[in-house]
Amino acid sequence: MNIDYSREVPVVEGRLSLAQIEELVAKPLESKPDKKYYIALTISGSALMLGAICLAFSFYYGLGLWGNNQPIGWAYDIVNFVFWIGIGHAGTLISAILFLLRQKWRTGIARFSEAMTIFAVICAGLFPAIHTGRPWLDGYLLPYPNQHSLWVNFTSPLLWDVFAVSTYFTVSLVFWYIGLIPDFATLRDRTDSKLKKTIYSIFSLGWRHSSRHWQHYEKAYMLLAGFATPLVLSVHTIVSFDFAVSILPGWHTTIFPPYFVAGAIFSGFAMVVTVLVVVRKVFNLENIITMDHLDKMNKVILATGMMVGYAYAMEFFIAWYSGVQVEQFAFLNRAFGPYAWAYWIMVSCNVIFPQLFWFRKFRRSIPVMMIIVILVNVGMWFERFVITVTSLHRDFLPSSWAYYTPTLYDIGILIGSFGLFFTLVILFTKTLPVVSISEVKAVAEGAQPSHIGGIVNA
Amino acid sequence: MHNKNLYGITALFDSPDKIISVAKKTAEAGYTRFDINSPYPVHGFDKAMNLKPSKLGFITLVFGLTGSIVALLFMFWTMSIDYPMIIGGKPFFALPAFIPITFEVTVLLASLATVIGMIVFFFKFPENRHPLHNTNYIKQVSKDKFGLVIEASDKNFEYQKVKDFIISLNPIEVEEIYYQEKELLSIIEPKFLTLLLAVALVTSGTTYFVLNELLYMVPFSWMSEQLRLNPQNSCELFADGFGMRMPVKGTVARGFMPYLQKGNSNPTELLENPYLITEENIKLGKSKYLTFCSPCHGNYGDGDSRLRGQFPNPPTLHSKRAQEFKDGMIYHIIVNGQNSMPSYASYLNNEERWAVVNFIRVLQKAKNASDSDLQFVKKENNKNASN
């Protein structure tokens, strides 16, 4: 294997011109959707409908339709919440952290993963809202002056969640929209259709690609990236506080915040790879979302997967080292109790299979990576299941021990959340540019002045 | 003299190297109202154009700090002042527990302020009526060309000179941009007004329906429709048909031990005062006395009723008879009433009754002080002063 390290590998392959890049990205928006698109939309839409029906039943008859009952008060609802919010973290990591680290390769995948962040947070936000049982009363979660002169409990991690998730959603949405403004302007100047022009004009706000604007724009982008970076770390930290601040053995663990953040990035990257592999193929974006991109993302998956594996091991070590009997029981019960099957699915999917990514050949093989990232998605869902359910199902009073089994409604709502996510993703691919046109143009070969600043050339 | 409607003269170039040198030359030629348009930010344009660093960060700083302070003060006020409650053994001002929300509000406010500030104050957007829109120039710079525009409002703008300067730069295309004819503001078009009206009607109608109707329909109303007896409702379970029940006979409310001499105008047995005359006790007595007794007996017990004869004036509390009353007798009168005075038993609990008795003793002493009392007070005052 001979790699020339003396020269920077181009981010965009195939020596595409600026106009070609634009053509490639704008094409799905300017062509009518084909049959495959409608088939995909039908499948995801059906899943979404299934979830909606299960939810309607849950609200009409009450949450007794779900499987959670004492002592397992938190089950699918919270598992799915943590799972989806974790998926969202990859997008912000790619768009903000890699931006601050000057990783040029992020430009090709940033838009898509940011969109996935927003859709995942929508799915995530759904679950705490329905978990309350009467979601139309969820306004009480916000501090507002009321006739009871009561306030929300600002010292509760559950309230921190409300603030963290809503801030995360708002900031991600704003970040995403800011990135879209120049692309809306480009699309506006491309189209001949009057209706499209009006819509793009409204969303582009009248952007003129002016350098006097680019200057503030770049500043704002950097400031937002600077905020989004600690924000994304804080969100999953706070989600982990929902567990860690309680005093339940198996939850009361100081390693939770970094462990959750690593797990979030792990699962998020897995989901991004899952979807991007399909998207680059369907929309012929192989030159913009290159094999190098997938390779790098697989490296991140390998690294974060091992961090998660370290956390699994460390939890057991601390349980033994603490000398606390209930803590030791909680972890032995996790690995060898009634939910051992879930635990070992988690360990094999998250720690063992990703080890294949040590090999360059596997990192660059579409079928292998597809299998591994789907396994990682499964494993990370089970991680949240294991943390939530196994810690609860055998509490301090053996007479109340129970075994949790989800009902059809639980499973229907989970499928519905995937339906919601993929419906939004599918609609997104045909309505908005899935790759940031202006950012990819800026990293194309020859797009920037030569090092002598163009003075000599002119 | 150039056309008054001229916005500026534009030129297109096709390489990033070229546009940087063009920007540099234009800035050096003394033009200030010129702009570079490019499909993406070209490295080094700010230096070449001689732009000052963006001041956007100040908005972020100010609003970020505002967010932290507002969040922290708000949590301090709600949790420590407005509704203090001990939660999990934490102090009322539990700073570590307030950090997450302080952080989130800081980020939220700073990000939103940065973006809104940039769009509204720095860009003056939305602006879809700018003369550059819908020109060939903007279509080219939107795609893959790099453009220079020198505005006619520049103080050094002379039509021929600028034109010559631009041609000397060797552009691939030159275009003059004019302001469009003034158009009627579409905001007062009947169509738009109708739309606004429709939006307003639908929004307010939906809000009204949801808040006043929908939330009282099935299944949303199920929380208020429960198998329980609401106050004042009848019930067939009991023979008398009342839903609300009287307490069982002999029930004693806390702090209201029955007084055995009740209804007896000449009590045979009087209670002893169980409370010492302490400052706290007298304060309580004073407040109760001023609330319940002073309307008739007067603020100092002189019997100077504030009711001004609408009600028979009671005798003074400083009479010899009243001064010789035992504490228990005053207590008895409070509970039982006397002549036209009704019972105050339901207004004052046991402690409050005795506190009123103590306060009446204070009033009596103050009104009938002897010289020796004055000496004693003086001595006490000196003692306090010397301390």
Please tell me the predicted confidence (pLDDT) of residue A359: 95
Do A206 and B133 count as a contact with CB atoms less than 8 A apart?
Answer: yes
Q: What one-character-per-residue DSSP string does B174-194 give?
A: EEEEEPPPP---GGGSHHHHH
A346 to chain B, closest Cα gap in Å? 30
Do B142 and A150 count as a contact with CB atoms less than 8 A apart?
Answer: no
Q: Which residue of B has its CA nearest to A148?
A: B83
Q: What is the pTM of this model?
A: 0.81
The b/e string for B193-211 (b: 16+ C-beta within 10 A; e otherwise) is: eeeeeeeeeeeeeeeeeee
Closest CA to B270 of B286, B259, B282: B259
Which of A208, A231, A451 should one mutate to test binding to chain B, selecting the residue with the greatest count of B CBs within 10 A? A208
Phi, psi angle pair for B151, to nearest 5°: -80, 150
Q: Which residue of B has its CA nearest to A186?
A: B142
A174 to chain B, closest Cα gap in Å? 8
Phi, psi angle pair for A320, to nearest 5°: -70, -45
Question: Could you tell me the two tokens for A182?
Answer: 């120049």
Closest CA to A84 of A134, A152, A38, A130: A130
Instruction: State the first-to-last Cα distance of chain B, in angstroms, to the nearest integer.
Output: 94
Neighbours of A351 (CB within 10 A): 17
Please report, as a single letter, which amino acid is at residue B122.
F
Handedness of CA B79, B83, B84, B89 (dihedral sign): negative
Strands (E), chain B: 6-13, 34-37, 146-151, 173-178
Q: Which residue's entry shows tokens 């990035």? A: A265
Do B111 and A205 count as a contact with CB atoms less than 8 A apart?
Answer: no
Q: Encode pLDDT of B210-245 as tens digits.
A: 989 988 888 788 777 778 888 888 888 889 888 888
Q: A408-431 and A256-282 helices cross at what angle (nearest 10)?
A: 50
DSSP assigned state of B10 = E
Chain B contact set for A239 (CB, 8 A): none
A135 to chain B, closest Cα gap in Å? 10
Q: Looking at the partner chain, which of A167, A207, A449 has a beta carbon nearest the beta carbon of B17? A: A449
Q: Report the alpha-carbon distance of residue A404 to residue A390 in Å, rounded.
A: 9
Chain A contact set for B136 (CB, 8 A): none
Please report, as a single letter, which amino acid is at residue A90.
A
Please tell me the predicted confidence (pLDDT) of residue A75: 92
Q: Report the alpha-carbon distance of residue A256 to residue A252 in Å, rounded.
A: 8
Do A219 and B56 count as a contact with CB atoms less than 8 A apart?
Answer: yes
Bridge partners (DSSP) of residue B37 are A210, B147
Low-confidence ranges of chain A (pLDDT < 50): 453-458
Q: Which residue of A has its CA nearest to B45?
A: A211
Chain A contact set for B114 (CB, 8 A): 220, 223-224
On whether the CB atoms of residues B97 and A158 are closer than 8 A, the answer is: no
Question: Could you tell me the two tokens for A177?
Answer: 């929209």
In which region does residue B342 sit, left (phi positive, over 0), alpha (psi from -120 to 50) or beta (all else)? beta
Closest CA to B85 of A147, A154, A145, A158: A154
Closest CA to B26 of B173, B168, B172: B168
Question: Could you tell me the two tokens for B199?
Answer: 């939006």
Phi, psi angle pair for B308, to nearest 5°: 50, 50
Chain A contact set for B123 (CB, 8 A): 205, 213, 216
Please tell me the predicted confidence (pLDDT) of residue A274: 93
* Residue B1 scores a pLDDT above 60: no
DSSP assigned state of B240 = T
On whether the CB atoms of residues A353 and A48 are closer than 8 A, the answer is: no
CATH H superfamily, domain A25-443: Formate dehydrogenase/DMSO reductase domain (1.20.1630.10)
Q: Report the alpha-carbon distance of residue A108 to residue A105 in Å, rounded.
A: 6
Chain A contact set for B14 (CB, 8 A): none
A234 compared with B372, residue with greater pLDDT? A234
On whether the CB atoms of residues B358 and B277 are closer than 8 A, the answer is: yes
On whether the CB atoms of residues B115 and A205 are closer than 8 A, the answer is: no
Please tell me the predicted confidence (pLDDT) of residue A457: 42
Q: Looking at the partner chain, which of A167, A212, A218 has a beta carbon nearest the beta carbon of B35? A: A212
ipTM computed for the complex:
0.92
Q: Encode pLDDT of B322-347 as tens digits.
A: 888 888 899 999 988 888 888 898 89
Closest CA to B245 of B258, B231, B255: B231
Please report, as a single letter, which amino acid is at residue B266.
N
Q: Report the alpha-carbon distance of residue A18 to residue A190 in Å, rounded.
A: 14
Please tell me the predicted confidence (pLDDT) of residue A169: 95
Do B111 and A182 count as a contact with CB atoms less than 8 A apart?
Answer: no
Which of B7, B106, B111, B195 should one mutate to test binding to chain A, selecting the residue with the greatest count of A CBs within 10 A? B111
Write down the CATH number for the domain with range B279-386: 1.10.760.10
Please tell me the predicted confidence (pLDDT) of residue A43: 96
Please tell me the predicted confidence (pLDDT) of residue A257: 94
Please tell me the predicted confidence (pLDDT) of residue A189: 92
Do A182 and B40 count as a contact with CB atoms less than 8 A apart?
Answer: yes
Chain B contact set for A134 (CB, 8 A): 220, 223
Closest CA to B346 of B296, B289, B269, B292: B292
Looking at residues B258-276, what average pLDDT do you find?
80
Helices (H) and strands (E) in chain A, counts: 17, 0
Q: Report the alpha-carbon distance of residue A304 to residue A286 in Å, rounded.
A: 26
Compute CA A142 distance to the chain's CA centroid, rounded to the nearest angstrom: 25
Please tell me the predicted confidence (pLDDT) of residue B60: 95
Neighbours of A195 (CB within 10 A): 8
Chain A contact set for B130 (CB, 8 A): 206, 208
Please tell me the predicted confidence (pLDDT) of residue A456: 43
Q: Encode pLDDT of B172-196 as tens digits.
A: 999 999 887 766 556 677 888 899 9
B237 to chain A, closest Cα gap in Å? 30
Q: Which residue's entry shows tokens 């912000």? A: A92
Which of A134, A151, A211, A441 should one mutate to test binding to chain B, selecting the residue with the greatest count of B CBs within 10 A? A211
B194 to chain A, closest Cα gap in Å? 19
Lowest mean per-residue pLDDT among A448-452, B61-65, B112-116? A448-452
For chain A, what is the largest distance between any 2 Cα atoms, rounded to a whole number of angstroms?
85
Q: Report the alpha-carbon distance of residue A450 to residue B15 in Å, rounded.
A: 10
For chain B, what is the largest distance between any 2 Cα atoms, rounded to a whole number of angstroms?
123
Closest CA to B45 of B14, B13, B20: B20
Please tell me the predicted confidence (pLDDT) of residue B188: 73
Please tell me the predicted confidence (pLDDT) of residue A186: 94
Domain positions in chain A are 25-443
Q: Looking at the partner chain, which of A60, A186, A227 has a beta carbon nearest the beta carbon of B142? A: A186
Q: Encode pLDDT of B287-327 as tens digits.
A: 999 999 988 898 898 888 887 777 778 888 888 888 888 88
Which of B46, B142, B217 should one mutate to test binding to chain A, selecting the residue with the greatest count of A CBs within 10 A? B142
Do B39 and A453 count as a contact with CB atoms less than 8 A apart?
Answer: no
- For A275, the 3-state DSSP assignment is helix
Do A170 and B108 count as a contact with CB atoms less than 8 A apart?
Answer: yes
